[in-house]
């Protein structure tokens, strides 16, 4: 819009009341008054300019009531809007179920001419029973053995009694009898030399194996 010029009478009237004109040259676009009475305004509410395009001050002008654009002061830039992106919620993974590894083949050894489970073998047998109850729905083969001392028929019966003793113990620990296959091999499957005391002790055993 073109510069609005005050009538001479208005300019003289303003001068009579101490109106001051600034010396800065500013943009020719209209400047809206701020309502502080610091500048002369026209009927549209725009600040009046003089012939040099300067805002015409009144005697109410102070640095506090000044309009920045009239004084050639750059308008303060608004603070940048900082958008805070919330951090993604941590992914909580459900803990994997603890599965005991399959134990190796369980072997229990017996004293000569007995089928009583040794006290030292109980902890390992308990571990095997816990595995069967919690982590494995499989069947197990329980096989009894003897050394070669004595008649073969007697040894066959003794090996079956040893196997059944282990099966009964596992049954008392919660293993269903239908999951256990109980057999006796007598002296037919030695793992060591029956000619030695150590070898015979190794052969007096019960083996428990998982059947796939």
Any domain includes 150:
yes
What's the number of domains the chain is made of?
2
What is the chain's mean pLDDT, rounded? 83
- Which of the listed ranges 21-35, 78-92, 99-113, 143-157 does the model predict with the highest average pLDDT? 143-157
Residues 139 and 43 in one domain: no
Q: Where are the beta strands (DSSP E) in 41-193?
A: 106-109, 139-144, 180-184
Whether residue 106 contacts residue 207, with contact meaning beta carbons closer than 8 Å, is answered with yes
Any domain includes 169:
yes
Any domain includes 41:
yes
Domain boundary among 73, 98, 125: 73
Any domain includes 82:
no
Cα distance between residue 8 and residue 108, in whole Å: 125
> What are the pLDDT digits (tens) for 3-58?
444 444 444 444 444 444 444 545 667 888 888 888 888 888 888 888 888 898 88
> What are the pLDDT digits (tens) for 164-195?
999 999 999 999 999 999 999 999 999 999 99
Any domain includes 91:
no
Residues 28 and 124 in one domain: no
Q: Residue 57 carries which DSSP code?
A: B
What residue numbers bound the domain in which 62 lies? 1-73
CATH code: domain of residue 111: 3.30.1330.60
Cα distance between residue 73 and residue 93, in whole Å: 59
Beta bridge partners of 9: none
What residues contact residue 68 under an 8 Å CB cut-off, 6+ apart?
74, 75
Any domain includes 86:
no
Question: For tokens 């194996």, what's the residue?
Answer: 209
Domain boundary among 73, 96, 125: 73
């Amino acid at each position: 819009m073109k510069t609005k010029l005050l009538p001479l009478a208005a300019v003289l009237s303003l001068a009579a009341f101490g109106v001051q004109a600034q010396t800065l040259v500013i943009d020719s676009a209209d400047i809206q008054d701020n309502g502080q009475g610091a500048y002369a305004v026209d009927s549209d509410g725009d600040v009046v300019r003089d012939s040099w395009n300067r805002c015409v001050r009144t005697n109410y002008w102070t640095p506090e009531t000044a309009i920045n654009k009239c004084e050639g002061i750059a308008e303060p830039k608004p603070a940048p809007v900082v958008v805070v992106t919330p951090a993604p919620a941590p992914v909580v993974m459900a803990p994997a179920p603890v599965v005991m590894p399959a134990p190796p083949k369980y072997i229990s050894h017996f004293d000569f001419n007995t089928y009583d489970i040794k006290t030292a073998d109980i902890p390992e047998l308990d571990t095997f029973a816990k595995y069967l109850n919690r982590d494995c729905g499989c069947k197990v083969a329980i096989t009894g053995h003897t050394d070669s001392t004595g008649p073969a028929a007697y040894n066959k019966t003794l090996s079956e009694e040893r196997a059944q003793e282990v099966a009964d113990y596992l049954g008392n620990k919660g293993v269903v009898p239908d999951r256990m296959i109980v057999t006796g091999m007598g002296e037919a499957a030695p793992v060591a030399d029956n000619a030695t005391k150590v070898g015979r002790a190794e052969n007096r055993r019960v083996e428990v194996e998982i059947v796939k």
